[in-house]
Structure 1
Amino acid sequence: MPELSQRTATFTDSVIRRMTRVSLQYGAVNLSQGFPDFEPPREILQRLAEVSREDFHQYSITWGAQNFREALAEKQWRFMGRRIDPNSEIVVTCGSTEAMMAAMMTVANPGDKVIVFSPFYENYGADTILSGAEPIYVPLYPPEFNFDADELEAAFRQHPKALVLCNPSNPCGKVFTYDELKIIADFAETYDTFVITDEVYEHIVYEPNRHVYFASLPGMWDRTISCSSLSKTYSITGWRLGYIIAPAPIVDVAKKVHDFLTVGAAAPLQEAAVTGLKFGDAYYTWLRDKYTKKRDLFLRGLDDLGISHTVPQGAYYILLDISEFGFDSDLEFCEVLARDVGVGAVPGSSFFRENVNHLIRLHFAKKDATLYEALNRLDSLRNKISVRKGSRYRAGEQ
């Protein structure tokens, strides 16, 4: 048999999706893959039921149904502060995953370099490599996950074609401040670099933090490719409705990439989702308050259990410190956690370029009852997972 492509030789399958399968195998509470276990807004579901009986079962326009793009342009204008042309500045994609891949293929040539902050959502490195480009990793330093401006400029001096910016950030929950974004913007302008943003958690930001759209910064519209989706905002991760917003010359190329990748997003789901895109400001305030309560519930429970964790500024992920257990492999720890404790998590090493094996990621986009069940199971963590040799802790001790 001929040799297979070498593009995927340096990365594995998705560890996040793998841990969902592990959770199912052991009947664990799945806090690994970031999807809710509660329903989307009732109005969207009601419209979906109506759509099933209407004539939306064939292809829509390749780059998105007209009314979907118009509703999206109106909604994003309210939040981004810029009028968006629904016909020339939007591409509707099959989730933000395709949006990020299409954006990368739109700007990157084989041999180009792309800056990626670490920790990072695992797709970013893979997207870069599949595009034939080379990732340059710049660390974010805990507990606030700030970057060093000198290290960032050293990466820019390598003349990258693009920088990937996840804001709010998965997995660390960082919300970049205006001043931090301005530093990135100044470097992008100085070194003539595109910025590809993943802003899927744009509406899940905790007080007093504020989300600033990178494209809204002075002079950044022309070099920013804004990617996002409806998945997290409307709790419809399985609908796979994403989009790219960018200047017309960039979108013109992205449309061609998107067309040959997937042809188009699901027509009936676009029609139903228009209802959500027309929600007023009260919905987004409600969403923020809902996730703030879930974050506080989960953090308070972890504090009561004496488990060390990060405090997210946005998104719905928490990194737990498992150093006390002395595991050399965080992947092994997560498998033991699912099997013996009954809680699914993602090993932190899948998000870091650095040698990090002492953190695991959990998410709290779940019903309160699910979160309480997970906390009840985590109460037995130190009794059910034995501490490995060399740790200063022992099983059952706190």
Structure 2
Amino acid sequence: MTEDDRSGAGAAREPYSKRARDVPSGGLVTLLGSDQARTAVDLATGTPAAPKPADQLVDAACSMLRAGVHQYEAPAGNAELRSRIAGSFTTPADPDTEITVTVGGTEALFVALLSIIDPGDEVVIFDPYYDNFLGSLALAGAIPRFVPLRAPEWRFDPAELAAAFTPRTKAVLLNTPHNPTGRVLDREELDHLAALCEKWGALVISDEVYSAYTYDDHTHVSLADVPALAQRSIVVGSLSKSHALSGWRMGFLRAAPEHTRVLRQVHIAVTGGTAAPLQRAVVNSGVLEPGAWRPADELQKARDRVIEIFSGIGLKCCRPQGGCYVMADVRPVTNGDCHDFATALLDHAGVLVVPSTVLFAEPADGNAYVRIAFNKSETLIEEAARRIERARRTWPLATV
């Protein structure tokens, strides 16, 4: 090779990795980034504005910082915190061999995928989905195999789920309660999933960050509570939603010991550990003690009020069984699609919701729906109601 050949060999080379190029562009982030969106009443993002973090948590964090807790914690997480998390499950876990504290649920999800996925492996995922799932799958090099959840109950067809499995299926990625639909997977559905995973030798990564929020007569069933899935599951948890601590980045993984050994190796390589003073603050605050924190009643009232507001202007709302989002059908009030409705709602009322096209593998499948977050304060929800009511005086919805 000549000197000229060497100097120009990389001139046309793509500077970024394929995995980075494959990460979706983040439609939700783009959608929420405008100046108009930033001044609106936010019923779009799931960042908790309710419930309010417990006062004792804030006090405990300040105490830990003042006490000089500023250095590394054990990579797997503070031992007392792991013990509290392990005891919070219906089926208790071993804190020493089955629990790992992570930098939020996002790191937990990514660690789980990196631990079991090789590029080209297939992962079964329900559609619609939590938008961060696709980015994590892309970075891991996984190929998603989508299984639709059918409105209005947002259930999967067992035959369609079975058809999604192939010899290349390495895992199933799900969340329950489900973002965005609010479905809580029941025991019959999980047993069906377990049979397929056993047949194909697949694991399940279960994002259960909304486990504290179920409503009416619905009960969250962790995959760790299903005997046939206990050894095949990796449970992702977080305090971000349950305790309104999204900025603390406090998540965890639960898995069988043989999985945990690998998860911890990857966790150490990715982050090295989680903030020591905040881990100890959670322990000392007592919020993880049985019965110490029961926020679901507050959010159920918020859910019902949000449904009342949007049903009142003609949308058909799917009542969620859990989580913090309502999926609302806009077709009764518009000749357009969800983007037209969301844009008009922002323009006329200054209220922000999410057009659901960004939550579906085929955007057209989400044309009929907007996603509305209700983990908001009563004050914020009532301000949204006032704005919408004022806008209705001059805004003929049917012409959107």
Q: Do they fold alike, i.e. is TM over 0.5?
A: yes
Q: Cα RMSD over matched residues?
A: 2.1
One-letter amino acid of the counterpart of residue 294, structure 1: A
Structure with bigger gyration radius: 2
Instruction: Show the counterpart of 1:54.
Output: 67
Change beyond 3 A, Cα 1:276–1:299 = farther
Query: Where does 1:247-266 land on structure 2 (aligned, <5 Å)?
Result: 247-266=256-275
Cα distance per residue 1:334-380 (max 9 Å; x no partner)? 34533432112222111111322221111111111110111222235
Change beyond 3 A, Cα 1:163–1:376 = same
Q: Give the match's secondary structure for 2:379.
A: helix
Instruction: Show the counterpart of 1:13.
Output: 25
Structure 2 unaligned residues grouped into runs of 5+: 1-10
Q: In the aligned structure 1, how far is the partner of 2:20 from the partner of 2:286?
A: 37
Q: Is the 8 A contact 1:28 1:339 kept in 2?
A: no
Q: In the aligned structure 2, how far is the partner of 1:320 from the partner of 1:384?
A: 22
- Report deviation, 1:17: 3.5
Instruction: Show the counterpart of 2:8.
Output: none
2:248 aligned with 1:236, yes or no? no
Change beyond 3 A, Cα 1:128–1:283 = same
Cα distance per residue 1:173-209 (max 9 Å; x no partner)? 0001111111111111121110000000001000211
Q: In the aligned structure 2, how far is the partner of 1:385 from the partner of 1:134?
A: 44
Q: In the aligned structure 2, how far is the partner of 1:16 from the partner of 1:283?
A: 34
Cα distance per residue 1:85-135 (max 9 Å; x no partner)? 222211111110111111011111111100000011011122112111100
Q: In the aligned structure 2, how far is the partner of 1:123 from the partner of 1:292?
A: 25
Q: Give the match's secondary structure for 1:204.
A: coil
2:310 aligned with 1:302, yes or no? yes
2:392 aligned with 1:394, yes or no? no
Q: In the aligned structure 1, how far is the partner of 2:218 from the partner of 2:258?
A: 33
Q: In the aligned structure 2, how far is the partner of 1:228 from the partner of 1:24?
A: 33
Instruction: Show the counterpart of 1:390.
Output: none
Tell me the number of residue pairs that the alignment of Structure 1 and Structure 2 aligns. 384
Greater shift, 154-163 or 272-281, is seen at: 272-281
One-letter amino acid of the counterpart of residue 287, structure 1: P
Q: In the aligned structure 2, how far is the partner of 1:235 from the partner of 1:26?
A: 21
Cα distance per residue 1:10-38 (max 9 Å; x no partner)? 44333333444337655101111102224
Q: In the aligned structure 2, how far is the partner of 1:75 from the partner of 1:173?
A: 22
Q: Is the 8 A contact 2:103 2:251 kept in 1?
A: yes
Q: In the aligned structure 1, how far is the partner of 2:108 from the partner of 2:395?
A: 40
Q: In the aligned structure 1, how far is the partner of 2:139 from the partner of 2:88?
A: 32
Q: In the aligned structure 1, how far is the partner of 2:147 from the partner of 2:77?
A: 35
Identical columns (%) = 32
Q: In the aligned structure 2, how far is the partner of 1:296 from the partner of 1:243?
A: 30
Greater shift, 149-158 or 98-107, is seen at: 149-158
Instruction: Show the counterpart of 2:350.
Output: 342
Cα distance per residue 1:320-345 (max 9 Å; x no partner)? 222343335x4465345334321122
Q: Give the match's secondary structure for 1:206.
A: coil
Cα distance per residue 1:225-269 (max 9 Å; x no partner)? 000101111111111101111011111111121112122211111
Q: In the aligned structure 2, how far is the partner of 1:382 from the partner of 1:178?
A: 43
Q: Is the 8 A contact 2:130 2:180 kept in 1?
A: yes
One-letter amino acid of the counterpart of residue 378, structure 2: D
2:38 aligned with 1:33, yes or no? no
Q: Give the match's secondary structure for 2:119.
A: coil
One-letter amino acid of the counterpart of residue 295, structure 2: L
One-letter amino acid of the counterpart of residue 94, structure 1: V
1:357 alignment partner, one of 337, 344, 367: 367
Q: In the aligned structure 2, how far is the partner of 1:331 from the partner of 1:8?
A: 28
2:296 aligned with 1:288, yes or no? yes
Change beyond 3 A, Cα 1:102–1:283 = same
One-letter amino acid of the counterpart of residue 66, structure 2: R
One-letter amino acid of the counterpart of residue 206, structure 2: T
Structure 1 unaligned residues grouped into runs of 5+: 388-392
2:74 aligned with 1:69, yes or no? no
Query: Where does 1:140-289 land on structure 2 (aligned, <5 Å)?
Result: 140-275=149-284, 278-284=287-293, 286-289=294-297
Q: Is the 8 A contact 2:57 2:287 kept in 1?
A: no
Q: In the aligned structure 1, how far is the partner of 2:35 from the partner of 2:145?
A: 33
Q: Is the 8 A contact 2:37 2:352 kept in 1?
A: no
Instruction: Show the counterpart of 1:119.
Output: 128
Change beyond 3 A, Cα 1:25–1:168 = closer
Greater shift, 18-27 or 298-307, is seen at: 18-27
Q: Is the 8 A contact 1:26 1:339 kept in 2?
A: no
Greater shift, 378-387 or 148-157, is seen at: 378-387
Q: In the aligned structure 2, how far is the partner of 1:305 from the partner of 1:92?
A: 44
Greater shift, 91-100 or 124-133, is seen at: 124-133
Q: Is the 8 A contact 1:110 1:131 kept in 2?
A: yes
